Amino acid sequence: MRSTHYTVNAPLNLNIALVSDLHCYPYKEVLERVGEEKPDIIAVPGDIMENTANHSVTAPFNQPGFAFLSALTAIAPVYYSIGNHEGGMSEENRTLLKEAGITLLDNAFLHAHGLCIGGLTSPLPYEKHHAEKTPSPNLEFLSRFANEQGFHLLLSHHPEHYPAYIRSTGVELIVSGHAHGGQWRIFGKDIYAPGQGLFPKYASGMHENRLIVGRGLANTVFPIPRLGNPTEAVFIHLRRGES
């Protein structure tokens, strides 16, 4: 696992950990790494669990992801948005997340830590979570969020939403996952991501000083194992007067 650090110009100083796409894989090392960095907040743009529409977060299918999120709350406040594996989050699961101290932002925002923090929900229901084309997210919510006062941090599971819907808004910082760094990285190029296809532009890295895409935390084997593309924890340092 690698740690990647980015510094972003902002009206305030704040340290943000970005963790995504655990998919219920082992998390001990990630937890230790995040704890060492002592972030002020933790942003989680989805796909930590596997199927929260049809299984309890405490069931074996989801439990490692839920345990990971719960453990993160001991480090810093956790803000979590819904990925394509979590579409159709059940009411029971929402209650369990709340009781564990995890703030779910399901097409919702709040003001905290000097930021306006929003979560843009994946538009894919669990039954279609492997769809190759990503439909439009909730644009009414996105517009309402973007028009809110303050420095905006948006959790958006799908990075492909950035060029399609978010770039034209005034949202200052967007964190995403989903693309798993292109799964393979060969000759400096990310190879494939669902929703973007071959040689995806937004599978990792920082783009236009606004969009930061994490490579994810799962050593997934779909359809063949990661290659040249280690899992990644990302640390974003908002700093006054820097870029």
Could you tell me which stretch among 71-79, 176-184, 214-222, 225-233 binds Fe ion (CB under 5 A)? 176-184
Which letter does DSSP use for residue 233 in this model?
Answer: E
Q: Does 83 bind Fe ion (CB under 5 A)?
A: yes
Q: How far apart are CA 231 and CA 169, in angstroms?
A: 30
Residue nearest to Fe ion (CB): 178
Total of residues contacting Fe ion (CB under 5 A): 4
Q: Does 137 bind Fe ion (CB under 5 A)?
A: no
Q: Does 86 bind Fe ion (CB under 5 A)?
A: no
Among 23, 152, 178, 215, binds Fe ion (CB under 5 A): 178
Q: How far apart are CA 151 and CA 47, in angstroms?
A: 25
DSSP for 186-210, written as a single string: ETTEE-EETTTEES-SSSSEEETTT
Could you tell me which stretch among 22-30, 76-84, 209-217, 234-242 binds Fe ion (CB under 5 A)? 76-84
Q: How far apart are CA 208 and CA 159, in angstroms?
A: 13
> 106-125 in b/e burial notation, b at 16+ Cβ within 10 A?
ebbbeeebebbbbbbbbbbe
Cβ at position 25, least distance to Fe ion in Å: 14
Cβ at position 124, least distance to Fe ion in Å: 8
Q: Does 181 bind Fe ion (CB under 5 A)?
A: no
Cβ at position 47, least distance to Fe ion in Å: 4
Fill in the per-residue mask, 39 to 58: x = in contact with Fe ion (CB under 5 A), - = not in contact. Answer: --------x-----------
Q: Which residues 6+ apart lie within 8 Å of 18 measured at CB?
A: 42, 43, 44, 45, 175, 212, 214, 233, 234, 235, 236
Residues in touch with Fe ion (CB under 5 A): 47, 83-84, 178
